[in-house]
Structure 1
Amino acid sequence: MKNVIIIFGLTFMLFLLSCKHHGTPKPRAYYRITFPAHEYQPLNEECPYRFDVPVYANILKDTRSHNAEKYWYNMDYPTLNGTVHISYKTVNNNINELLEDSRKLAYKHSVKADAIGERLFVSEEKRVYGTLYDIKGNAASSVQFYLTDSTQHFVRGSLYFDAIPNKDSLAPVINFVKEDISHLMETFEWKEMPNF
């Protein structure tokens, strides 16, 4: 019996001594996202503008907005759960109002944004002028832009994801879509429409 108590005591002491290592929990991680190669095709819609559309995005008539107008489209990214909303307005001696509305809509996100950068876009030969708003932080929309010829046409776009804004987890996706938006702006041009 004495040997059993000694063996039990030694086993218990070894057990206590072996429990000094405390595991470190793994940090939270985000899903790895595999992006397709950037490939584009021309927009095939009857509207007063054209640009290159990513082959992995769907162009749909805007039916989600209660005030959607003619030539409003959504460029949906089904695998990324995001949408670039594209709206069109005719300029009627109100270019300053349209520009100010676009600026206000971008800076409306400054409450949650860490910073808002502006990149000007000018294509004299195509008569396309605009600004890309790069909104940093946990804002609902991280990229917005407008394009205009300043006399007849005005197009505005904004990127939204169907997810809670998190700058860390969405950063790779935002950068990927931002390249597509930059390509959209570079290939954008006005076209003459019958009965426009």
Structure 2
Amino acid sequence: MNFKISGFVILFFLLFIACQEEVYVPKPKAMLRLDFPTPVEAQFENDSFIFNYNELAKPVVKNKNAIVLDYPAMKGSIFITYKAIQNNLETLIGDAQKLSFEHMRKADHIEPRTFINEDDKVYGTYFQIIGDAASQSQFYVTDSIHHFVTGSVYFYTKPNYDSILPAANYLQADMRAIMETLRWKE
């Protein structure tokens, strides 16, 4: 008799649990938090110019006219190229602008910002590229007579603007710091 009662209790308990409505508890929205260190400045110098860069980057000199500031933790880089002006300033500026606006096919928007440093004779344009483009920002600077420098940010991943936005913002700030601290050597 005890066996029948205990079996009946177990069966009743299982039926009671099985007939309960499942209660869904919504999960709070969460965002991935990426903390990047406060930039510590180091200085890069070659025969043509000097600029400050973030110590987090590892400078790789490809040749006397090409430098890569590699950010291994972010899987991204800032590529910097130097060209001497030889009666071709308009062509150099046109090529730099064309390169920036070629990203328009994939970008949602491109915001050009003029950069002028009268004291050190550094003039140029910074392009912030918004959207799933290969590069999130580019710039060019010149003294209009002898020197022309371009820079661009690239990540070693398929572009997904939302995913790389925190790292892109960090590297964009570093790129603007490079523009602001760049000085020509005579």
Q: Same fold (TM over 0.5)?
A: yes
CA contact (8 A) 1:47 1:71 kept: no
Q: Over aligned residues, Cα RMSD in angstroms?
A: 2.1
> 1:11 matched to which residue of 2?
13
Residue identity (%): 35
Pair 1:139-2:133 in alignment: yes
Name segments (4+ residues, structure 1) moved above 3 Å.
Answer: 1-6, 22-30
- The one-letter amino acid of 1:21's match is V
Is the deviation greater in 168-177 or in 13-22? 13-22
Q: Deviations over 1:137-175 (max 9, x none)?
A: 111100100011112111000000112212112111111
How many Å apart are 1:46 and its aligned residue?
A: 2.6
> 2:87 matched to which residue of 1?
93
SS class of match (2:19): helix
CA distance in 2, matches of 1:84, 1:9: 68
> 1:187 matched to which residue of 2?
181
Runs of at least 5 residues in structure 2 that lack an aligned partner in the other structure: none
CA distance in 2, matches of 1:5, 1:58: 71
SS class of match (1:35): coil
CA distance in 2, matches of 1:8, 1:78: 60
SS class of match (1:150): coil
> 1:120 matched to which residue of 2?
114
TM-score (structure 1 length as normaliser): 0.84
> 2:53 matched to which residue of 1?
53
Runs of at least 5 residues in structure 1 that lack an aligned partner in the other structure: 63-68
Pair 1:73-2:74 in alignment: no
TM-score (structure 2 length as normaliser): 0.89
SS class of match (2:177): helix
CA distance in 1, matches of 2:160, 2:80: 23
CA contact (8 A) 1:80 1:173 kept: yes
Equivalenced residues, count: 184
How many Å apart are 1:75 and its aligned residue?
A: 0.8
CA contact (8 A) 1:58 1:77 kept: yes
How many Å apart are 1:21 and its aligned residue?
A: 2.5
Structure with a larger share of its residues in strand: 2
> 1:65 matched to which residue of 2?
none
SS class of match (1:51): strand
